[in-house]
Amino acid sequence: MSRRVTIQTPLGEALQFRQLVGREALSQLYTFDIELLGSNNAIDPKALLGKASTVAVETESGGVRHLGGIATRFGLQQEDARHSFYRLQLRPWLWLATRRSDFRIFQGKTVPEILTDVLGSYGYPIEKKLSRGDYRRWDYCVQYHESDFNFISRLCELEGIYYYFRHEASQHVLVFADDIASSHVPLPGGESVRYHPLEKSGMGQRERIYAWEAAEEVRAGHHYNNDYDFEKPKADLSHLRQMPPGHDHDGYENYEWPGGFVQHADGETYARLRNEEQLTQRSRASGRSNLRELATGHTLRLTGHPRADQNQQYLLTSVSYHLQENLQASEGAEATEGSVQRFAFDVQPTSLAWRPQRTTPKPRTRGPQTAMVVGPAGEEIWTDQYGRIKVQFHWDRLGKDDENSSCWVRVSTAWAGATFGAVSVPRIGMEVIVDFLNGDPDYPIVTGCVYNADTMAAWQLPEQKHLSGIRSRELGGGRGNHLVLDDTHGKIQAQLRSDHQASQLSVGHIGRIEDTAGRKEPRGQGFELRTDGHGVARAAKGLLVTTEPRPNAQAHTTDMGETVGRLTQARDLHEGLSEAAQAAEAHETGDQDEVAKGLKEQNDAIKGQGGNREQGDFPEFQEPHLTLASAKGLQTVAQGSTHMVSNEHNALTSGGHTSVSAGKSFLVSVQSAIRMFASKAGMRLVAASADIDIKALKDSVNVLAKLNITQTANKITIHAKEEVVINGGSSYSRWSSGGIEHGTSGTWREHAAVHSLVGPASEGKPSLPNPPQLPKGQLDLYHQYIKPTGEKHQGVAQGDFTVVDSEGGSHAGTFDRNGFATVSGLPIGTAKVTFGKDPRDPWEEGSYFGTPKDWKAKEPAAGGADAVGTSGFLASAGGFAGMAGSAGGAAGALAGVAGTNSKTAGMLGQVTQAAGMAQQAVGAAQAIQQGGAKALLGQASQAATGMAMQAAGARLGPMGVPIAGMAGSVASGGVPAGIKTGMGTAATQPALAGRTPGFMG
């Protein structure tokens, strides 16, 4: 007989088709259950399993359509005397993807690209009819313990991609689609299909649709999604998509969080897709037909339906098949007598988008897991601006343990704020604990670190279990830093240490902790701050170093009542003895008054007044003093020299004795006078060997005693260039070049063994040394503009200046065209320099200097200041309000502020801010003693508020080497011998041949 339905299997004609029942739908794996007849009851299932078989169906037009698949089940069902009945199950090749599961990471790919990566290895045909060009490129997408089929299904459902199969004679093709208009074609030969119900006659066996049922259902028409992006934490990523179907209750909203996106455009796309998903199959129809061309994924146009609105184009979303061949019919019967072809189908109007329902769940992690930190070869830390790292998961068999093993993974920390918090970036090779935000494997986050056999604890355990803290490791080296809290019973300590030059602060019961061995031998109790390198203690508002006890930190930190009391007592003693000395005319009143005033001001500043205890503002240290106080004694020891310097006065007070011992000489040099006073026990000057010389090179030596003056010696010689007068009571004796005269109002008595009177004789006039001539000094002045780069820009040509020397003399002058001037013949001592205005106006439009945008609109007010000696800048009494004093005009604190950008201003910090970005550079006077720039560095921190010179001191070079790029750089010139200058005011020095070094203003 003639058969309409046949089957092709790898066994050829050994099996004949009997019946097929199955269903094929969009985005579903179809199943065809097929009954077969054969004469052999011993067919091996392996001959068919996993192999392709195809059912061929003869169409009304004489063509053939196919239904193919992979044999997934085969077995003998029953048998009779003539036939063996077999059952074969065909499924699409995509069903094989349900048989394989994996853990796999995809980075930087779109879903269509991932589909190719996952399904390409199966070796079956794939066709993509995807019209969208904006598929999201996933930074990180994980197939997490799920089959290939579930993985690609959930991705397609998320992106609105669906699939169907196109059956051909030798294969079936998997087709991916995302748009009805561009992804589907009409039924072959049946673009229009007529509706004709069974109860109507006239169609006979002609193919048509004979049953049709249309329906609509309630669907939500609103979708709202939102998410969060840590790189844009304040961004609004929400989207609301509205497509109400038009029936009652169509305004309900589906809210989705998290939306699974960080880009605004992706969120908009997902909102549209989810809305279309909700409305899919809102309006649909089902029917029955005998049309053998019916196939899922094709379109058809219905005609002849009594309801005109039903006569439109539809997409076939599913087709159910029932095909049967009655092989027991008589040999001469027609094909129709033994055949059954019945089809049921579902359709949706092509005017509505079709989206797959998200029925495939995304796998969720079941808790944290660990991973290894990875990165490029040769790196120890691999991170980005957010402190994120790369990890290699233990389950990732494709990763290469490098920077491509994962996405950037955020690292949880105990504290994270706007440029503050705790930072500790896990290093390559460390094992970290990884959790997942919302349990989503696509969003890993590192929550901690754990030790393992390769990365052991910072201190040996369990021996050092009493230690807790942090220990870091030097990149590319073996040293480290640590903060240790040692909770050893009875010996607790805290230690902050850097292995660099063994620098550390230890407090408590100090014990050695240097490496992973932990605590070693004890080293003392209390605190120790030590280093093998340099050490600095700096406090801008005052520093107290004391041994006065404050048990358990009682009282506030700057409390120093005992110290202030001792200083007050010492000052009273000092003033009392000074008053006695002045009464005895041993001291001049003015000098001691200055000292007393300075001591009182200093004591008052240390003691302070006012304050606000509630705000932690206590009265002490109203000026930045350094105070050393001891409850017992104070010792200073130096292997080398000791140098004590004060720009004002030195006061030394002791309640007991003051003893000075010198292994060699005790040398005192003063510019004005030496005054010594002993109130009670007198003075004693003894030279155990050699002479005692007392000389007055310009004036007299006066010796006064209320009682006796006794001189005892082997020989006493009195020399006078002009005259010697001895006056005792009312008798006298005068010796001069004119002769000897004796006189008395009483008795003259002489006793001698012999009296001899001979002719005249003389020993000659004694000679006296000439008074020393103190050398004169030379002062070099620089007044120049400095570029932002630190280069000298241009001198303040013809600007004026005034120098007041140490004796009050005034010296005025003008600078040359380079802003340089020399003042010679100055007495040794401090000098005050006042710099005048630049005669030109840098604010004038078109000025050579220009007008930087951040300059003030008008010139700042001028103020007074002293030029700095060895510091190189200036110490202004007005707090850097300006320079020039009575000369007025020259504004600004440092030369660098005349720059045209903020680089120099940032370098000079608070000094520049105080100067108000002034117009004109400030000059500074400098005279250098032997030792050159080294002397500058030693006192640089005293300049101004001490902040500008920190930058300048780092740039000072050796003498005679010009240095560009810094205000205060050393100019060229010789190195003269002279005296060491103080700080805070300019000091001149002896003038020598050549030009002495100076400083640029």
Amino acid at 168: E
The two beta strands, 989-990 and 777-782, are: antiparallel
The full set of domain ranges for the chain reads 369-450, 456-529, 777-990
- State yes or no: pLDDT of 879 exceeds 50: no
User: Quick one: average pLDDT of 279-283?
Assistant: 86
Question: In the structure, how many helices (H) and strands (E) does the chain have?
Answer: 10, 51
Angle made by CA atoms 118, 122, 127, in degrees to the nearest 5: 75
Task: Pick the range with the lowest mean pLDDT from 534-538, 753-757, 900-904.
Answer: 900-904
Q: Quote the pLDDT of residue 281.
A: 78
- Residue 814: both structure tokens together: 């003008």
Q: What are phi and psi of 56, to 5 degrees?
A: -110, 130
Which residues lie closer than 8 Å to 38 by C-beta, 6 or more apart? 14, 15, 16, 83, 84, 86
Task: Pick the range with the lowest mean pLDDT from 370-384, 404-418, 575-589.
Answer: 575-589
Strand-pair partners of 835: 801
Q: Quote the pLDDT of residue 982.
A: 33
pTM of the full structure = 0.69
Which is more confident, 571 or 167? 167
3: left (phi over 0), alpha (psi -120 to 50) or beta: beta
Percent of the chain with pLDDT over 70: 80
- Residue 270: both structure tokens together: 């997902």
* Burial grade of 30 (CB within 10 A; 0-12, 13-18, 19 or more): buried
Give residue 853's pLDDT band: very low, low, confident or very high (50, 70, 90).
very low
Whole-number Å distance between alpha carbons of 445 and 433: 8
Whole-number Å distance between alpha carbons of 241 and 160: 15
Give residue 486's pLDDT band: very low, low, confident or very high (50, 70, 90).
very high
Which residues lie closer than 8 Å to 1 by C-beta, 6 or more apart? 327, 329, 330, 331, 332, 333, 335, 338
User: Is the sign of the CA dihedral 804, 809, 811, 812 positive or negative?
Assistant: positive
- Do residues 322 and 57 touch, judged by C-beta distance below 8 A? no
Torsion of CA 346, 349, 355, 358, to 10 degrees: -40
CATH code of domain 369-450: 2.40.50.230
Write the DSSP assignment of 46-87 as a string of letters: GGTTTSEEEEEEE-TTS-EEEEEEEEEEEEEEEE-SS-EEEE
The two beta strands, 416-417 and 420-421, are: antiparallel
Strand-pair partners of 344: 288, 320
The length of the chain, given as a count of residues: 1001
Angle made by CA atoms 809, 813, 817, in degrees to the nearest 5: 155
Strand-pair partners of 5: 57
Q: Quote the pLDDT of residue 626.
A: 93
Query: Closest by alpha carbon to 603, among 639, 652, 563?
Result: 563
**DSSP 8-state code for residue 881:** S
Write the DSSP assignment of 741-805 as a string of letters: EEE-SS------S-----S-----PPP-PPPP-PPPEEEEEE-EEE-TTS-EEEE-TT-EEEEE-
User: Is the peptide bond preceding residue 462 cis, with omega within 30 degrees of 0?
Assistant: yes
Letter string b/e over residues 626-664, b meaning 16 or more CB atoms within 10 A of that residue's CB? ebebeeeeeeeeeeeeeeeeeeeeeeebeeeeeeeeeee
Q: Quote the pLDDT of residue 202.
A: 57
- Do residues 190 and 293 touch, judged by C-beta distance below 8 A? yes
Q: Quote the pLDDT of residue 968.
A: 33
Amino acid at 341: Q
Q: Quote the pLDDT of residue 789.
A: 61
Query: Closest by alpha carbon to 790, among 911, 921, 913, 914?
Result: 921
Give residue 932's pLDDT band: very low, low, confident or very high (50, 70, 90).
very low
- State yes or no: pLDDT of 382 exceeds 90: yes
Whole-number Å distance between alpha carbons of 819 and 804: 19
The string of pLDDT tens digits covering residues 547-566 is 999 998 888 889 988 999 88
Which is more confident, 355 or 748? 355
Write the DSSP assignment of 99-130 as a string of letters: G-EEEEEE-SEEHHHHHHHHHGGG---EEEE-
Whole-number Å distance between alpha carbons of 996 and 821: 11
Whole-number Å distance between alpha carbons of 328 and 611: 115
Q: Quote the pLDDT of residue 203.
A: 58
Whole-number Å distance between alpha carbons of 955 and 26: 77
- State yes or no: pLDDT of 711 exceeds 50: yes
- Residue 558: both structure tokens together: 């700057």
Give residue 919's pLDDT band: very low, low, confident or very high (50, 70, 90).
very low
Strand-pair partners of 393: 371
Stated as kind and residue range, the H or E segment containing 601 is helix 589-607
Strand-pair partners of 790: none
3-state helix, strand, coil in the chain (%, to 5): 15, 30, 55
User: Quick one: average pLDDT of 952-976?
Assistant: 33
- State yes or no: pLDDT of 531 exceeds 60: yes
Which residues lie closer than 8 Å to 147 by C-beta, 6 or more apart? 97, 98, 99, 100, 101
- Residue 680: both structure tokens together: 């009670």
Average pLDDT of the residues of the chain: 81
Which residues lie closer than 8 Å to 749 by C-beta, 6 or more apart? none
Q: What is the CA radius of gyration of the chain?
A: 53
